[in-house]
Structure 1
């Protein structure tokens, strides 16, 4: 805990539900969904290291470890309530998978929102982005964070019928908090490029709910369909006319599915 603790905002009463945001974002990006979820859960909004109100730990504070993915998971473990459900969006979904594997007694269920086991296209994985595209995006972030993020947000709502409504909301939410630390952006890129969780999915014992948009161009719908088949116990909710941010596009459906999925957990 101490100096390297993450910023956590908690609201509501009931079973613990942890929300983990995506790369280069912060916990404010969930919009109004946490307020609705707080009617059913004790919701914990976590800013990942170097994002929002959480600062990025130094190498000294990480015990000299250089595996940024592992370090990020360890920081979340420090503030993880026992017996919780974890809902992760995009990169946050990959962290939820790692946490479920590492802490099976503390993580009861996982909800993966717009998540893929590999963001990068590989020889045996066609549902990913080109590595060079991701690296170019990261370089542009360093040069001009504001313009690059606006383009990234536009990409996230591609395929969504009311993008004209959702996109301004995303831009407003994103810039409500400070720009992520450069070290955090680089760490996130390393995780996005390196993570290939395909072989780990069969080892997850917890029930999983996958909430995905059928028009997602960042985490492909085919990746979600594939993931569902790998888990021991999984359900996939594919939302029509929806892109990478179902909790903003369809907050009512997003909340209702989580409440239904966790009903017996209560």
Structure 2
């Protein structure tokens, strides 16, 4: 049986170039597409509204059917929404550095404090480049290959321009507002979660809780990684994706 096509959805403030270390380890015969999130490239889709659902709908129009959709960070939230509302597009999900809810709530402590997220949003309005660098620093934090992760992520940053800035601001708003915890039971496809034990942006506890809430999920943790294990652990992540696709 052939593998489903692979779709890679990147995170906030970055371009699909962030996937280069992982793509270099994938079977070259495996059909793979890595679209840019809205506003994250000149040819990226333009949703009708600044919401997770609108972004997912815009991406769905460009994706193959019955794919293994692999989402990282904000891309993982989009992947979950695609699986829930566009099931014909998603045969299975791989979620890297994922959390169903980025901001702490009264019943959800394994997330970022609201004041920190609000600070990111305010800072982006006046110093967007600084906000991107802070995000990169958080994503590399805790990784034993911190310098390499920082280098790779910095090289894949979206240039902040008059055209991209509103979309990047919308992406931060989506991260701040979305809570998919109550929707996890609606995701009927198999899910594989890959997470760094020292993820400082989306704690591993959030991913473990998400795995418990999904009907069909398996969780793998990288003991020496932060938020972007697919960068310095590209070969290991590729091996897990190959195995998942071949199941």
Larger RCO, structure (CA 8 Å, separation 6 or more): 2
Over the aligned positions, Cα root-mean-square deviation in angstroms equals 1.8
Q: CA deviation at 1:134?
A: 1.0
Q: Which residue of 2 aligns with 1:27?
A: 16
Contact 1:51/1:179, CA 8 A, preserved across alignment: no
Partner residue of 1:230 out of 199, 210, 213: 213
Matched, 1:48 2:37: yes
Q: Taking structure 2 as the reference length, what is the TM-score of the superposition? A: 0.92
Cα 1:38–1:142, aligned 2, differ >3 Å: closer, same or farther? farther
Match of residue 185, structure 1, among 159, 168, 186:
168
Q: How does 1:210-229 map to 2 (within 5 A)?
A: 210-229=193-212
Residues of 2 paired with 1:17 and 1:157: CA distance? 25
Equivalences for residues 102-141 of structure 1 within 5 A: 102-141=85-124
Aligned position for 2:235: 252
CA distance in 2, matches of 1:182, 1:165: 27
Q: Is the 8 A contact 1:213 1:243 kept in 2?
A: yes
> Contact 2:45/2:59 (CA < 8 Å) preserved in 1?
no
> Residues 14 and 40 of structure 1 are in contact (CA less than 8 Å); yes or no, is this contact kept in structure 2?
no
State whether structure 2 residue 9 is matched by structure 1 residue 15. Answer: no
Kept in 2: contact 1:56–1:183 (CA 8 A): no
Q: TM-score, normalised by structure 1?
A: 0.86
2:134 to 151, 160, 179: 151
